[in-house]
Amino acid sequence: MCDKCGCEQEHEGNHEHHDVVGSKIIDVNKSVTEANDELAQQIGNFLKDKGILSINLMGAPGSGKTTFIEQLVEFIPAEEIAVIQGDLESDIDKKRLEKKNIHTFQINTHSGCHLNAMMVNKALMHMQPSGKKYLIIENVGNLVCPAAVQIGQHIDIVVSSTTEGTDKPKKYPVIFMNTKMIVLSKYDLKEAVGFEETKYLEDLKNINAEAKIVKVSSKDPESFKDAAEFIRDERERLFKV
Ligand SMILES: Nc1nc2c(ncn2[C@@H]2O[C@H](COP(=O)(O)OP(=O)(O)OP(=O)(O)O)[C@@H](O)[C@H]2O)c(=O)[nH]1
Ligand SMILES: [Mg+2]
């Protein structure tokens, strides 16, 4: 018996697999992921050709992702940045960024817990990002799903706040694994919430020893300078400009 679909044929046979009612089994998960990854690759290449570094900015809801972008423009001119803003509903973050003169396109996923390459592709068709140096894609606030889906980014950045708790790298390791930079935000609140920095950094090191870690607080705008420099250096390193 075939051990994949249970039909009478030998399991090594090159036959089409069937379910109990006789219809063909299609590995939907695989094909959808492949199509997404292919489009993501094309988006990444398109942006690279234009000299635009794309960043998948991820983190829990309220971790400080939009604040991070707002503060970056103190060190990277707003006209060099375009943002795709992913939220379930509302254009609250888009309006915040437009106050900082950042060209922003809002995507509302409604019930979707992450962006995908198709959404980013559609946004880019509306945005015309030529002339920008950085495309920051603020993903939907979530520590799980965004890490699993390619959206055409060249690098991942995770914003992780002290107020979420010391245990987050241990409990949600996947999102921290391949990220180039971890922005430890709300550093001003670390005492108030009993954040154990040494333990947090130790856990992070076990998951991703390569990531750059920057500690930031919206109360101290200078604390974002290192992160801005890292982003600028990454663009130069990857694009050799
Ligand atoms: N005290 C303090 N508050 C901060 C800091 N960074 C962000 N906040 C506050 O935290 C709240 C959430 O910040 P946002 O930047 O909107 O977070 P976000 O990750 O973009 O949130 P979503 O888009 O809803 O997922 C806001 O009220 C910010 O003012 C910080 O460094 N210190
Ligand atoms: Mg936001």
Q: Return the bridge partners of 82, or none.
A: 103, 135
Retrieve residue 40's tokens: 């993501």
Position 152 scores a pLDDT of 98
Cβ neighbors of 160 (< 8 A, separation 6 or more) are: 59, 60, 63, 168, 169, 176, 182, 183, 184, 185
* Short-list 100, 36, 90, 34, CA closest to 68: 100
Stated pTM of the model: 0.90
- pLDDT averaged over every residue in the chain: 92
Q: How far is the CA of 32 from the centre of ligand 1 (A)?
A: 33
Report the distance separating Cα 123 and Cα 53, nearest Å. Answer: 16
Percentage with pLDDT > 70 across the chain: 88
Residue 203 pLDDT more than 70? yes
Q: Is the CB of 71 under 6 A from ligand 1?
A: no
Q: Distance, CA 66 to ligand 2 centroid (Å)?
A: 4
CB of 215 closer than 6 angstroms to any ligand 1 atom: no
Closest-CA residue, ligand 1 atom 27, reads 62
Domains of the chain by residue range: 50-239
pLDDT of residue 79: 98
Query: How deeply is 189 buried, as exposed, middle or buried, from its count of CB atoms within 10 A (0-12, 13-18, 19+)?
Result: middle
Please check the confidence at residue 25 and state whether its pLDDT lies above 90.
no
Residue type present at position 207: I
pLDDT of residue 32: 81
What's the confidence (pLDDT) of residue 16?
61
Q: Cβ(69)–Cβ(97) under 8 Å?
A: yes
Q: Is the pLDDT of residue 8 over 90?
A: no
How buried is 85 (Cβ within 10 angstroms: 0-12 exposed, 13-18 middle, 19+ buried)?
A: buried
Pairwise CA distance, residues 186 & 218, whole Å: 7
pLDDT reading at 169 higher than 80: yes
Q: Which pair of tokens denotes residue 110? A: 């409604």
The closest of 240, 214, 190 to 75, measured between CA atoms, is 214
Residue 168 reports pLDDT greater than 70 = yes
- Identify which of 141, 175, 142 has the alpha carbon closest to the alpha carbon of residue 158: 175
| More reliable by pLDDT, 6 or 127 | 127
What is the CA(207)–ligand 1 centre distance, in A? 25
Beta bridge partners of 113: none
Q: Could you confirm whether domain 50-239 is CATH 3.40.50.300? A: yes
**DSSP one-letter code for 159:** E
pLDDT at site 145: 96
How confident is the model over 31-76, as pLDDT tens digits?
789 999 999 999 999 999 999 999 999 999 999 999 999 999 999 9
Nearest ligand to the C-alpha atom of residue 59: 1
Is residue 149's pLDDT more than 70? yes
What is the pLDDT, as a whole number, of residue 241? 82
Q: How many CB atoms lie within 10 A of CB 1?
A: 10
Token code pair at residue 11: 């399991």
CA 217 to centroid of ligand 1, rounded, Å? 10
